[in-house]
A and B are shown apart, each in its own frame.
Chain A
């Protein structure tokens, strides 16, 4: 995860409420969010997905935008999807690994 600056910490926390549709793990704990920048009510998200063929890309982006727009100061959300560095299970947070393990899903 990219170093979190204090002024975007609240947005990282907000995105912990946005769940991956396939596993009830947040997009932050899945390691999908690479960077968050905010300036004058415009928020720029740099993110990835677990697979290029992910069928839920628009759904997840919609959920992210919807949640961030609930913050009163935010008037625009820009999302840039990147594929480098490529997502691997190494990006899962310890919390996500713990939950995966409890469901019997390998995270290695």
Chain B
């Protein structure tokens, strides 16, 4: 394996974090999504699971190439970087909250990678970004539906979203602090990932996210 620069190490960690989240999301979309509120929702969840697992496979393989591994290992588990909110998803409300928050954050970061001008980035992730947009539309519309539902559902959803958002925000802050990523040309410079994330989440018009602390 070739010696890795700080920028490359951080980029591999970034790609693995996204892959881990997609790997676990794919798993949760199957486990929880199969008990979705209606047949259409369940079918869509299973279809998205295949998409998320495919994205994870592509990103893990990219990380293997970056590590210059001669033989690509089998992918049998995540590397431990998935957000706890996603790992702990056990119901439809938490699934939608986590899927939405994580994919908004991941989309911002992958677009920053695409905008870096890094050679071959587009050939790796352009199609993934297009497909991910469909998952974003789906989860955003379900988020709106749950926020406008009756009884305890809106408050339960806000609680789940709050937890998912805080973990995604913490990751984006961490990515912004990894200055070697931009210096080495792996992501675009002068990013405002946290601000862009907050702006997008605010579009849901969630008045007050319930504190989970």
Contact = CB atoms under 8 A, between A and B. Distances in A.
Interface of A: 48, 51-55, 82-87
A51 B54 contact: yes
Contacts, number: 42
11 contacts: A51-B54, A52-B54, A52-B128, A52-B131, A53-B52, A53-B54, A53-B57, A54-B54, A55-B50, A83-B122, A83-B127
Nearest to A54: B54
B91 interface: no
B131 A51 contact: yes
B124 interface: yes
A100 B128 CA distance: 25
A85 B126 CA distance: 8
A84 B51 contact: no
- Grouping DSSP codes into helix (H, G, I), strand (E, B) and loop, the B interface class, with mixed when no group exceeds half, is helix
A84 B126 contact: yes
Interface in B39-97: 50-55, 57-58
Max count, chain B CB within 10 A of own CB: residue among A53, A55, A84, A85:
A53
A95 B54 CA distance: 29
Contacts of A82: 123
B188 interface: no
Given A83-B128, A86-B130, A52 B123 contact: no
